[in-house]
Amino acid sequence: MAATLLISSKNYSSWSLRGFLLCRLADIPIEEHAVSPDDPNTRAELLLRASSIRVPCLMHDGVTVWDTLAIAEYLNEISPNAGMYPHDRKARARCRSIAGEMHSGFAALRSSLPMNLRLHRTGVTIWSAAQADIDRITEIWRECLQTWGGGWLFGRHPTVADAMYAPVVTRFRSYGIDVDSVSAAYCAQVMEWPAMQEWIAAAQEEPEEIEELEVEF
Protein backbone atom coordinates (compact mmCIF):
# COMPACT_ATOMS: atom_id res chain seq x y z
CA MET A 1 0.00 0.00 0.00
CA ALA A 2 1.38 3.37 -1.03
CA ALA A 3 2.16 6.06 1.50
CA THR A 4 0.55 9.47 1.14
CA LEU A 5 2.78 12.54 0.95
CA LEU A 6 1.05 15.84 1.54
CA ILE A 7 2.90 18.65 -0.22
CA SER A 8 2.43 22.29 -1.13
CA SER A 9 3.80 24.00 -4.25
CA LYS A 10 6.34 22.11 -6.35
CA ASN A 11 7.69 25.35 -7.76
CA TYR A 12 8.10 27.27 -4.50
CA SER A 13 8.28 24.82 -1.58
CA SER A 14 11.78 23.70 -0.64
CA TRP A 15 10.39 21.64 2.25
CA SER A 16 8.02 19.72 0.00
CA LEU A 17 10.89 18.97 -2.37
CA ARG A 18 12.93 17.60 0.54
CA GLY A 19 10.07 15.35 1.62
CA PHE A 20 9.68 14.01 -1.90
CA LEU A 21 13.40 13.31 -2.29
CA LEU A 22 13.47 11.51 1.06
CA CYS A 23 10.66 9.22 -0.09
CA ARG A 24 12.55 8.51 -3.31
CA LEU A 25 15.67 7.69 -1.27
CA ALA A 26 13.63 5.26 0.83
CA ASP A 27 12.24 3.73 -2.38
CA ILE A 28 8.70 3.55 -1.10
CA PRO A 29 5.65 4.10 -3.34
CA ILE A 30 3.84 7.34 -2.59
CA GLU A 31 0.68 9.09 -3.64
CA GLU A 32 1.07 12.87 -3.64
CA HIS A 33 -1.69 15.14 -2.44
CA ALA A 34 -1.20 18.88 -2.93
CA VAL A 35 -2.57 21.48 -0.54
CA SER A 36 -3.80 24.61 -2.28
CA PRO A 37 -1.40 27.58 -1.99
CA ASP A 38 -4.47 29.63 -1.05
CA ASP A 39 -4.70 27.67 2.20
CA PRO A 40 -3.55 30.13 4.93
CA ASN A 41 -1.18 27.66 6.61
CA THR A 42 0.39 26.66 3.32
CA ARG A 43 0.82 30.27 2.24
CA ALA A 44 2.45 31.11 5.56
CA GLU A 45 4.89 28.24 5.09
CA LEU A 46 5.82 29.33 1.58
CA LEU A 47 6.30 32.94 2.66
CA LEU A 48 8.40 31.89 5.68
CA ARG A 49 5.83 33.24 8.10
CA ALA A 50 4.78 29.98 9.71
CA SER A 51 5.73 29.35 13.34
CA SER A 52 6.10 25.67 12.47
CA ILE A 53 6.09 23.78 9.19
CA ARG A 54 3.63 20.90 8.87
CA VAL A 55 4.00 20.29 5.15
CA PRO A 56 5.33 17.96 3.87
CA CYS A 57 3.45 15.39 5.88
CA LEU A 58 3.84 11.65 5.40
CA MET A 59 1.00 9.24 6.18
CA HIS A 60 1.96 5.57 6.19
CA ASP A 61 0.63 2.44 7.87
CA GLY A 62 -1.42 4.39 10.41
CA VAL A 63 1.43 6.80 11.19
CA THR A 64 1.37 10.54 10.46
CA VAL A 65 4.73 12.29 10.54
CA TRP A 66 5.69 15.81 9.51
CA ASP A 67 8.91 17.84 9.64
CA THR A 68 11.53 16.71 7.15
CA LEU A 69 14.04 15.41 9.70
CA ALA A 70 11.32 13.40 11.42
CA ILE A 71 10.25 12.05 8.03
CA ALA A 72 13.86 11.11 7.27
CA GLU A 73 14.22 9.19 10.54
CA TYR A 74 10.90 7.41 10.06
CA LEU A 75 11.74 6.39 6.50
CA ASN A 76 15.16 5.18 7.62
CA GLU A 77 13.44 2.97 10.20
CA ILE A 78 11.07 1.37 7.71
CA SER A 79 13.68 1.14 4.92
CA PRO A 80 16.91 0.36 6.82
CA ASN A 81 18.61 -1.09 3.74
CA ALA A 82 17.94 1.91 1.51
CA GLY A 83 21.18 3.65 2.50
CA MET A 84 19.52 6.91 3.49
CA TYR A 85 22.36 7.51 5.96
CA PRO A 86 26.01 6.51 5.45
CA HIS A 87 27.10 3.16 6.87
CA ASP A 88 30.24 4.62 8.48
CA ARG A 89 29.56 5.96 11.99
CA LYS A 90 31.67 9.10 11.52
CA ALA A 91 30.03 9.89 8.20
CA ARG A 92 26.58 9.19 9.63
CA ALA A 93 27.17 11.64 12.47
CA ARG A 94 28.34 14.30 10.04
CA CYS A 95 25.36 13.63 7.78
CA ARG A 96 22.92 14.19 10.63
CA SER A 97 24.81 17.30 11.76
CA ILE A 98 24.80 19.07 8.42
CA ALA A 99 21.21 18.02 7.71
CA GLY A 100 20.24 19.59 11.03
CA GLU A 101 22.21 22.73 10.21
CA MET A 102 20.29 23.08 6.95
CA HIS A 103 17.01 22.41 8.71
CA SER A 104 17.43 25.10 11.35
CA GLY A 105 19.74 27.64 9.75
CA PHE A 106 20.49 29.84 6.74
CA ALA A 107 17.54 32.17 7.31
CA ALA A 108 19.11 35.02 5.30
CA LEU A 109 19.46 32.82 2.23
CA ARG A 110 15.90 31.52 2.54
CA SER A 111 14.36 34.97 2.86
CA SER A 112 16.40 36.81 0.24
CA LEU A 113 16.52 34.04 -2.38
CA PRO A 114 13.24 32.11 -2.11
CA MET A 115 12.94 28.89 -4.07
CA ASN A 116 11.39 29.43 -7.49
CA LEU A 117 12.20 26.70 -10.01
CA ARG A 118 10.80 28.66 -12.95
CA LEU A 119 12.98 31.70 -12.24
CA HIS A 120 16.33 32.29 -13.93
CA ARG A 121 18.15 35.57 -13.24
CA THR A 122 21.71 36.83 -13.39
CA GLY A 123 23.41 39.80 -11.81
CA VAL A 124 21.40 39.52 -8.61
CA THR A 125 22.73 41.56 -5.68
CA ILE A 126 23.60 39.29 -2.76
CA TRP A 127 23.61 40.99 0.62
CA SER A 128 26.27 40.14 3.20
CA ALA A 129 24.11 37.92 5.43
CA ALA A 130 22.98 35.79 2.49
CA GLN A 131 26.56 35.63 1.19
CA ALA A 132 27.69 34.36 4.59
CA ASP A 133 25.11 31.58 4.29
CA ILE A 134 26.30 30.75 0.78
CA ASP A 135 29.91 30.63 1.97
CA ARG A 136 29.05 28.30 4.84
CA ILE A 137 27.03 25.97 2.61
CA THR A 138 29.78 25.66 0.02
CA GLU A 139 32.29 25.09 2.84
CA ILE A 140 30.16 22.16 4.04
CA TRP A 141 29.96 20.77 0.53
CA ARG A 142 33.70 21.01 -0.09
CA GLU A 143 34.56 19.36 3.23
CA CYS A 144 32.21 16.44 2.61
CA LEU A 145 33.12 15.97 -1.04
CA GLN A 146 36.84 16.03 -0.31
CA THR A 147 36.49 13.70 2.69
CA TRP A 148 34.16 11.07 1.28
CA GLY A 149 34.48 11.49 -2.51
CA GLY A 150 32.17 9.88 -5.03
CA GLY A 151 30.29 12.94 -6.23
CA TRP A 152 27.65 13.00 -3.48
CA LEU A 153 28.21 14.45 -0.04
CA PHE A 154 28.91 11.05 1.50
CA GLY A 155 30.12 8.92 -1.35
CA ARG A 156 28.68 7.36 -4.46
CA HIS A 157 24.99 7.55 -3.53
CA PRO A 158 22.72 10.36 -2.33
CA THR A 159 21.76 10.46 1.33
CA VAL A 160 19.50 12.47 3.60
CA ALA A 161 22.04 15.32 3.49
CA ASP A 162 21.82 15.58 -0.29
CA ALA A 163 18.02 15.71 -0.06
CA MET A 164 18.26 18.49 2.51
CA TYR A 165 20.63 20.62 0.43
CA ALA A 166 19.05 19.98 -2.98
CA PRO A 167 16.72 23.02 -2.79
CA VAL A 168 19.78 25.22 -2.21
CA VAL A 169 21.17 23.99 -5.51
CA THR A 170 18.00 25.20 -7.23
CA ARG A 171 18.33 28.59 -5.55
CA PHE A 172 21.89 28.96 -6.82
CA ARG A 173 20.64 28.09 -10.31
CA SER A 174 17.62 30.42 -10.17
CA TYR A 175 19.64 33.44 -9.07
CA GLY A 176 22.86 32.82 -10.98
CA ILE A 177 25.03 32.36 -7.88
CA ASP A 178 28.69 31.78 -8.68
CA VAL A 179 30.36 29.05 -6.62
CA ASP A 180 33.74 27.32 -6.64
CA SER A 181 34.42 24.49 -9.09
CA VAL A 182 33.94 21.71 -6.51
CA SER A 183 30.56 23.10 -5.48
CA ALA A 184 29.57 23.68 -9.10
CA ALA A 185 30.27 20.04 -9.93
CA TYR A 186 28.16 18.98 -6.97
CA CYS A 187 25.31 21.24 -8.11
CA ALA A 188 25.43 19.61 -11.54
CA GLN A 189 25.29 16.18 -9.90
CA VAL A 190 22.21 17.13 -7.90
CA MET A 191 20.45 18.59 -10.92
CA GLU A 192 21.01 15.31 -12.79
CA TRP A 193 19.44 13.27 -9.99
CA PRO A 194 16.41 11.54 -11.62
CA ALA A 195 14.20 12.36 -8.64
CA MET A 196 15.12 16.06 -9.00
CA GLN A 197 14.39 16.02 -12.71
CA GLU A 198 11.03 14.39 -12.02
CA TRP A 199 10.10 17.10 -9.50
CA ILE A 200 11.31 20.00 -11.64
CA ALA A 201 9.44 18.76 -14.70
CA ALA A 202 6.23 18.67 -12.67
CA ALA A 203 6.92 22.14 -11.28
CA GLN A 204 7.07 23.56 -14.79
CA GLU A 205 3.48 22.43 -15.31
CA GLU A 206 2.18 23.84 -12.05
CA PRO A 207 -0.35 26.58 -12.83
CA GLU A 208 -0.24 28.52 -9.57
CA GLU A 209 1.81 31.67 -9.23
CA ILE A 210 2.41 33.34 -5.89
CA GLU A 211 3.07 37.01 -6.53
CA GLU A 212 5.04 37.59 -3.31
CA LEU A 213 7.56 34.94 -4.36
CA GLU A 214 8.10 36.31 -7.85
CA VAL A 215 10.99 38.40 -6.57
CA GLU A 216 12.04 41.46 -8.51
CA PHE A 217 15.61 42.77 -8.31
For residue 128, the domain's CATH number is 1.20.1050.10
Which of 76, 45, 62 is CA-nearest to residue 4? 62
Which of 59, 79, 46, 24 is CA-nearest to residue 199? 24
Q: Is 208 within a domain?
A: no
**What CATH number has the domain bearing residue 66?**
3.40.30.10
Per the structure, the complete domain to which residue 107 belongs is given by 89-199
Residues 110 and 78 in one domain: no
Q: What is the pLDDT of residue 191?
A: 97
Beta carbons within 8 Å of 111's beta carbon, 6+ residues apart: 48
Which of 50, 47, 51, 39 is CA-nearest to residue 13? 47
Residue at which a domain ends, from 62, 82, 102:
82
Residues 17 and 102 in one domain: no
Residues 127 and 157 in one domain: yes
Beta carbons within 8 Å of 65's beta carbon, 6+ residues apart: 57, 58, 71, 74
Residue at which a domain ends, from 61, 82, 103:
82
pLDDT tens for the chain, 217 residues long, are 689 999 988 999 999 999 999 999 999 999 998 876 666 555 555 545 444 567 899 999 999 999 999 999 999 999 999 999 999 999 999 999 999 999 999 999 998 999 999 999 988 899 999 999 999 999 999 999 999 999 999 999 999 999 999 999 999 999 999 999 999 999 999 999 999 999 999 999 877 665 555 554 3
Q: Is 213 within a domain?
A: no
Q: What is the pLDDT of residue 79?
A: 96
